[in-house]
Amino acid sequence: AVRPPFQARLTRAVSAAPHLPPPRARSPRGRAWTMSEPRCFKRVGPYDLFTTLGQGSFAIVYRGQHRISKRTVAVKAIVRARLNQKLQANLEAEISILQTLQHPHIVRLHDVQTTERHVYLVMELCPGGDLLRVIRSQGAQTEAQTRGYMLQLVRGLAYLREHNLVHRDLKPQNLLLSSHLPDATLKIADFGFARYMQQADLAETLCGSPLYMAPEILRFHKYDAKADLWSVGTIAFELLTTRPPYTGANHVQLLQHIEASEVELPGGISQECASLLRSLLRRDPTQRLSFGSLFAHPFLYPPELSGGSHAADHAPPSPALAPAL
């Protein structure tokens, strides 16, 4: 069957995108701009765009606001002319996937707007920045702090596994925070490389960020959902040490370093923490920790946190996610 053109496919995705609910009351018209308010430099559909939050090769992220409901959002402006066929397919997949996801630890897609030159993804705003900012500004995290972030990441991953989704680009830059406060909510973002994979499915596409990429991907071998677990291990390691477990000037050198030796764990960590890192950073994916075992690992769910007023915050995800996953 012949695939419809990109514009037609995108139009279908946009028409299915969740839109903001209608406002309860309309804002007054004709009110003059004052110096105390940020100046809007561009309007996209019902949204005013203000300051730039970040910029990449294909997109710029702005702080935006719905003109009537006043909801503050992050607007990802993607330049159509810079998208090749593969990137177009990734964008379509990202929109399609995000439309189906609604979870406290997944960044929410509110709306999609299109123009002749741009596609605008209207996302949930995460004012706390990303986890890399935390690492760079605060330095190495304690085990308790690391556990707090990992618990939230694991809950988001459990939700993705329930929907047979693999992220394939987990890294600190794609883990956003709802605020700058210590109890900020962590949210998984950037689903451009995500795909649906059943338990027995294998993929062979080289994608993701090299420093967080599983060795089976670096070897150009087929891989399964456990590739995400290697990335989880590298994130936990970096939280504890401020650096990834392995580095290299390129893919080849990075893989050589991974294959040359077992990961050197940081000193002074608990047995439970060391067990988690070793189990996640196994080079052979068949020997790597399973999703089910991760969701019940004693580092994340120690006995002393299983009771008390915050027990629900530390309860493992659904037991339906069996250790065999």
The answer to whether 125 and 47 are in contact (CB under 8 A) is no
* Chain position carrying tokens 């456990």: 226
Dihedral (C-alpha) 314, 137, 169, 225: value to the nearest 10 degrees? -30
* Chain position carrying tokens 């973002």: 189
The answer to whether 62 and 77 are in contact (CB under 8 A) is yes
DSSP 270: -
Which secondary-structure segment (H or E) carries 14? helix 6-16
Q: Can you say whether residue 70 is alpha, beta or left, with left for phi > 0 and alpha for psi between -120 and 50 degrees?
A: left
Q: Which two tokens stand for residue 109?
A: 């897609």
Number of CB atoms found within 10 A of residue 75's CB: 28
Taking the C-alpha atoms of residue 149 and residue 175, their distance in angstroms, rounded to an integer, is 9
* 48 assigned to active site: no
- Kindly name the residue from 48, 169, 224, 228 that is annotated as catalytic: 169
* Chain position carrying tokens 């900020």: 184
Annotated binding residue 70 = no
DSSP 233: H
HSE-CB at 22 with a 13 A cutoff on CA atoms is 3
Which residue ranges are tagged as binding site for ATP?
Answer: 76
The residues that are catalytic are 169
